[in-house]
Amino acid sequence: MNIPRDPAPADPLEPLLSRLSVGTKYLREPAPPPEDLRRMAAAALRAPDHAGLVPYRFAVVRGEARQRLADLFESVALAQGKPAEQARRDRGRATEPPLLVAVVARIDAGHPVATVHEQWIALGGALANFLTAAHALGYGGKMLSGSKVRAEAVMSAFCRPGETLVGWMVLGTPVGVGQPKFHKPSPDELLGEWPG
């Protein structure tokens, strides 16, 4: 039996055009398993990257490591003078998301070819590809940072010499359909002709 094919293929840009940031309170299990995380990382590696430096890496925080990160977040919050209630909320930032992935920058300020800003752009492109791949695979997520990223105890827990902690992606299965949080300009507002 011949089944008629849809003459119009699916829009190949749909994952790019429909991705939204999904916060922790809208994420549930299941989190992406290792094989999907590898595919997301493979997508990250396809971002433009002058000189092929790969000026970033990802650190997956799952299982018991989430409790250790929660302990660290809470102790840092208390050391920063936050009240106990706020420190407990900071603790939850490690345990509430189904999965966290730390984003670590490895910028080579003395590279003879790729400038620092090009390396940061490569990291941003990789981050965008990672989150778009997550969306294309049926997951949701967003990037988070905040004052914890700059806390010495947190940075040293994630960073090797010469590295910078950028923040964390929270990932899981989205609950419901989200809406854009911010109004963005139309494509026509972004595109302009250079007069030469």
Residues in the chain: 196
Vertex 144: Cα angle to 71 and 177 (nearest 5): 115
45-65 pLDDT tens trace? 999 999 999 999 999 999 999
Residues near 1 by Cβ (< 8 Å), separated by ≥ 6?
none
Instruction: Report pLDDT for 9.
Output: 60
102 beta partners: 59, 168
Percent of the chain predicted with pLDDT > 70:
95
Rounded-to-integer distance, Cα 149 and Cα 151, Å: 6
Q: Work out the pLDDT band at 38, boundaries 50, 70, 90.
A: very high
Cβ atoms of 31 and 62 within 8 Å: the answer is yes
Q: Dig out the tokens for 40 from the structure.
A: 């997301």
Question: Over 60: is that where the pLDDT of 2 sits?
Answer: no
The sign of the CA dihedral 143, 146, 151, 153 is negative
Average pLDDT, the chain: 93
This prediction has a pTM of 0.91
**Residues 140, 172: contact at Cβ < 8 Å?**
yes
Residue 38, judged by CB atoms within 10 A of its CB (0-12, 13-18, 19+), counts as exposed
